[in-house]
């Protein structure tokens, strides 16, 4: 790319030529799926295929009512799914917004302000405090230029740029001191450089392309994968059952109409039509509860997915920390060490007054009209120290400055000479090895003190001063014989409650890995503060990972063994997440910056910070933490586990009642009886009475011990051996009672319609009883308090009342072929329902004893 720009900048003809060659300075857009495509995708499901076939067959044989019911369910599910998917990620659009609209360039020998889209490679770009960088710029001049790259590299502190350095081509983004990248912000100083990359070629756009390359459907979470697996099994089983029974009936000489009716009835009975809606309601209820706990849900399946995560890969800057430098420790010249809380509590405040005054004098920040400090993060932190130690920053900043030596990277110190009542006071701040050499007297272990503070995760500055009757020559001639005031340790403080949250995550069996752009020593110190069991051997740097193939076993092993990842670039963060997923982890990624976007998007669950986070992070995430507090993620995990339990109850309820309906048909055919229920009666059960009850299971608030259990692994299923044990007793009782009642009423002289009316009423009571017992999968139904889920009792009552009303309304009597039942039938139904209730409770009791039994050396069931 051409960079031989003259001092006067490009001419207009050169600009036009390069704009034509390289295009405008805009990030590429990602094409979003249209509404029609989104709606069509909702039908890509084996259960949906079966229901479509059942609906078509119903039309073919003239049963229009059945067809209306079936296609109505399909349409409702598709509309709900389309609405959720339409809120798809807009990561590339958010990235575009990070590039500002205006830039300052030198063209035709004059400074001009132009639209950022018009910048071309070779343009001379001017930068100053407060500007956003508009392209990737190779600096040719920099005066105290500090750029905030935290959203791009994860580095918590503004980076001081140096245009005169010579760097290797492989230098990582966080160490490119000669470059200013698009999307970053100038916080201090001035600079000038040549635009070397624009638009799609910038580092920012590279992150955007990774976001696009890792694009996935936001709904591909563990829950959705389990539901898809369950759907395939149900579809295969239903088709196989229909084919076997149809063949048997064909051998008996039944006609094609009877075969089609059987196929439709079995399809309707086997397929839990209301399952997608019930699960959606459960997820929506959880999303509402999570919103009350500051967790905003962008993708409903992510609610459950967060609860199943086995590992959280978290960004440090702005997620675990406040992204704000603070002085947390001061060590005075006599070796006295003072922690921040001590001077905030009033202890040692007088002893720190002098070093606090010095921190405000040697300071380039200033106060706004509202009293808020503006300037370099270090200077702002030092002003806070001055205020916290009993000084008045505004007064100290107002003292006349006689001479100033700004901070220079090569010098590694800054000095200010200010007027004082005695004459003048010279204050110097800077790196320990630089300033200590200027002091007349220092403790022998002064450098060790500084090293010890640094090893605990602090950035260390040394303050020193000298008083004189008057200014006596240039400052640089008097930088000797200074009096050591002390050491200042600055850090980006941890968020309130984050240590406790990490501890509870570990208690819940969830690993926590920290990914940051910080220096390895700082990263390790922060990890230890968080309570992570990390040693130097557990810290892996970006340069170490860069030497490995991201797809290799060695890379996966290095990632799986690490607790802390330091100096990580965006592409490496994405590779880390993929490696953790290959290690059979369900990975939740938290972050707030542009650099977090690809990893958030590729993770099983992406969790972004809502306040301090960038648009990119929020757009790439499944969940957003509204209060920017890592601790809030724990609430999301708890709600996620509750949600999985609720969905599990819904699946158990629907499969058990659906299986009972199928077995009724098999039992009836085995005994030579007519079909116990018609297809439209089955739809009434599955959509109206059953549907009103299973949905209410989604409003459960949990059983209280969700965070004391280990997370479910990726292979955990909704229907395991315990679920089958819970389902079978009630299912068998429902089946046997229904077939017996059908046969008994036919033998007593009732018509087929009358017998079916009785069976339908009793099945409604079966569902009521089974709902009561599965509302809690561990405790007996009589020990769980109704207020825990008032919706459940409302749904149960409504389903029963609705069916009784339907028995007395002429329209529903005609549609469903039903009528009021007598006291004898009610008594039969109540007795059978109690059998369902207590047989399931017996299964729960047996499972509880089995779980509490001591292990005798045999392996547990998978």
Distance from C-alpha of 283 to C-alpha of 636, rounded to nearest angstrom: 12
What CA–CA distance (Å, rounded) separates 727 from 733?
Answer: 10
For tokens 């509302």, what's the residue? 775
Q: How many angstroms separate the CA atoms of 429 and 444, rounded?
A: 20
Strand partners, 315: 515
Find the Cα–Cα–Cα–Cα dihedral 701, 703, 705, 707, rounded to 10°.
-30
Sequential DSSP letters for 587-651: EEEEE-SGGGHHHHHHSSEEEEESSSS-HHHHHT-SEEETT--TTHHHHHHHHHHHHHHHHHHHH
The Cα-based distances of 631 to 494, 499, 523 in angstroms read: 11, 8, 19
Q: Name the E strands within 342-410.
A: 366-367, 373-374, 401-408
Quote the CA–CA distance of 629 and 495 in Å, as a whole number: 7
The catalytically annotated residue of 315, 379, 592, 596 is 315
Buried b vs exposed e over 574-588: b needs ≥16 C-beta within 10 Å? bbbbbbbbeeebbbb
**SS3 label, residue 425:** strand
Please tell me the distance from the alpha carbon of residue 477 to that of residue 426, in angstroms, as a whole number: 12
Q: What is the dihedral of CA 446, 449, 454, 456, to 10 degrees?
A: 180
Contact yes or no for 632/661 (Cβ under 8 A):
no
Report the C-alpha gap between 799 and 691 in whole angstroms. 8
- Match 């972004």 to its residue by tokens: 608
Report the alpha-carbon distance of residue 137 to residue 158 in Å, rounded.
17
Q: How far is CA 104 from the centre of its chain?
A: 38
Q: Taking Cα atoms as reference points, which of 720, 647, 821, 746 lies closest to residue 272?
A: 647
How many Cα atoms within 13 Å fall on the side-chain side of residue 382? 29
299 closest CA partner among 37, 30, 608, 513: 608
CA–centroid distance for 112 within its chain: 43
**Closest alpha carbon to 739 in 671, 806, 659:** 671
> Quick one: angle between helices 790-806 and 752-774, nearest 10?
170
Q: How far apart are the first and last CA of the chain?
A: 59
Structure tokens at 49: 């295929």
| Cα distance between residue 161 and residue 165, in whole Å | 9
Sort strands 423-430 and 439-441 into parallel, antiparallel or unpaired. Answer: unpaired
Enter the tokens of residue 480.
């000797």
Q: Is 315 a catalytic residue?
A: yes
Q: Give CA angle at 266 (260, 270), nearest 5°.
A: 150
Residue with tokens 């706004």: 368
Q: Compute the distance between CA of residue 466 and CA of residue 473 in angstroms, rounded to an integer.
A: 14
CA distance 525 to 537: 13
The DSSP string of 455-521 is: HTT-EEEEEEEEEESS--S-GGG--SSEEEEEEEEEE-PBPTTHHHHHHHHHHTT-EEEEE-SS-HH
- List the catalytic residues: 315
């Amino acid at each position: 790319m051409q960079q031989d720009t003259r001092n006067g900048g490009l001419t207009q003809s050169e600009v036009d030529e390069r704009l034509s060659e390289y295009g405008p300075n805009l990030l590429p857009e990602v094409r979003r799926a249209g509404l029609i495509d989104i709606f069509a995708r909702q039908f890509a499901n084996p259960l949906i295929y079966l229901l479509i076939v059942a609906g078509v067959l119903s039309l073919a044989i003239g049963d229009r009512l059945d067809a209306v019911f079936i296609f109505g369910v399909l349409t409702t599910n598709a509309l709900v799914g389309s609405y959720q998917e339409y809120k798809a990620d807009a990561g590339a659009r958010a990235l575009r917004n990070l590039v500002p609209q205006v830039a300052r360039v030198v063209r035709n020998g004059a400074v001009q302000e132009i639209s950022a889209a018009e910048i071309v490679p070779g343009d001379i770009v001017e930068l100053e405090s407060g500007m956003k960088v508009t392209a990737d710029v190779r600096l040719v001049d920099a005066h105290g230029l500090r750029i905030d790259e935290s959203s791009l590299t994860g580095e918590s502190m503004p980076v001081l740029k140096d245009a005169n350095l010579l760097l290797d081509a492989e230098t990582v983004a966080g160490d490119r001191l000669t470059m200013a990248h698009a999307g970053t912000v100038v916080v201090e100083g001035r600079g000038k450089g040549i635009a070397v990359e624009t638009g799609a070629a910038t580092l920012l756009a590279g992150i955007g392309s990774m976001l696009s390359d890792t694009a996935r459907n936001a709904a591909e979470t563990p829950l959705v994968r389990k539901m898809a697996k369950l759907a395939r099994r149900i579809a295969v089983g239903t088709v196989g059952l229909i084919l076997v029974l149809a063949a048997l009936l064909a051998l008996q000489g039944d006609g094609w109409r009877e075969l089609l009716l059987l196929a439709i009835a079995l399809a309707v009975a086997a397929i839990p039509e209301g399952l997608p809606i019930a699960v959606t309601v459960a997820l929506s209820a959880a999303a509402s509860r999570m919103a009350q706990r500051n967790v905003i849900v962008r993708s409903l399946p992510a609610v459950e997915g967060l609860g199943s995560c086995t590992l959280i890969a978290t960004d440090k800057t702005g997620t675990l920390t406040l992204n704000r430098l603070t002085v947390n420790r001061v060590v005075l010249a006599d070796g006295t060490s003072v922690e921040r809380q001590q001077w905030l509590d009033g202890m040692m405040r007088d002893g720190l007054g002098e070093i606090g005054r010095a921190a405000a004098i040697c300071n380039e920040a200033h106060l706004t009209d509202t009293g808020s400090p503006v300037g370099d993060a270090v200077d702002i932190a030092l002003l806070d120290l001055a205020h916290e130690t009993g000084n008045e920053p505004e007064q100290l900043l107002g003292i006349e400055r006689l001479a100033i030596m700004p901070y220079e990277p090569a010098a590694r110190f800054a000095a200010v000479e200010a007027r004082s009542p005695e004459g003048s006071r010279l204050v110097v701040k800077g790196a320990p090895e630089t300033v200590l050499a200027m002091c007349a007297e220092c403790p022998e272990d002064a450098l060790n003190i500084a090293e010890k503070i640094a090893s605990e995760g602090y950035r260390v500055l040394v303050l020193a001063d000298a008083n004189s009757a008057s200014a006596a020559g240039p400052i640089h001639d008097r930088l000797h014989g200074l009096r050591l005031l002390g050491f200042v340790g600055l850090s980006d403080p941890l968020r309130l409650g984050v240590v406790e949250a990490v501890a509870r995550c570990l208690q819940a069996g969830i690993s926590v890995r920290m990914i940051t752009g910080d220096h390895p020593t700082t990263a390790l110190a922060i990890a230890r503060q968080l309570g992570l069991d990390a040693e130097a051997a557990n810290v892996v740097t970006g340069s170490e990972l860069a030497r490995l193939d991201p797809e290799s076993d060695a890379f996966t092993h290095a990632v799986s063994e690490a607790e802390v990842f330091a100096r990580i670039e965006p592409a490496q963060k994405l590779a880390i997440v993929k490696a953790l997923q290959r290690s059979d982890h369900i990975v939740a990624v938290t972050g707030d910056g542009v650099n977090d976007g690809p990893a958030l998007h590729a993770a099983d669950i992406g969790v972004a910070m809502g306040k301090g986070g960038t648009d990119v992070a929020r757009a790439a995430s499944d969940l957003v933490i509204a209060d920017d507090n890592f601790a809030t993620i724990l609430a999301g995990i708890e709600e996620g586990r509750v949600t999985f339990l609720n969905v599990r109850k819904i699946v158990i309820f629907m499969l058990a009642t659906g299986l009972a309906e199928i077995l009724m048909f098999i039992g009836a055919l085995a005994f030579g009886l007519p079909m116990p229920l018609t297809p439209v009666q089955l739809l009434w059960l599955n959509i109206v009475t059953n549907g009103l009850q299973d949905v209410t299971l989604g409003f459960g608030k949990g059983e209280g011990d969700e965070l004391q259990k280990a997370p479910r692994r990726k292979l955990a299923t909704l229907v395991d051996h315990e679920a089958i044990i819970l389902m079978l007793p009630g299912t068998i009782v429902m089946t046997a009672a229904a077939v017996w009642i059908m046969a008994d009423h036919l033998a007593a002289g009732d018509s087929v319609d009358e017998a079916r009316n009785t069976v339908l009423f009793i099945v409604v009571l079966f569902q009521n009883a089974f709902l009561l017992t599965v509302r809690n999968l561990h405790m007996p139904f009589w020990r769980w308090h109704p207020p825990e889920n008032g919706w459940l009792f409302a749904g149960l009552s409504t389903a029963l009342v609705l069916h009784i009303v339907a028995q007395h309304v002429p329209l529903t009597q005609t549609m469903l072929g039903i009528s009021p039942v007598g006291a004898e039938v009610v008594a039969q139904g109540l007795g059978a329902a109690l059998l369902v209730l207590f047989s399931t409770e017996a299964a729960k009791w047996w499972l509880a004893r089995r779980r509490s039994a001591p292990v005798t050396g045999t392996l547990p069931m998978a």
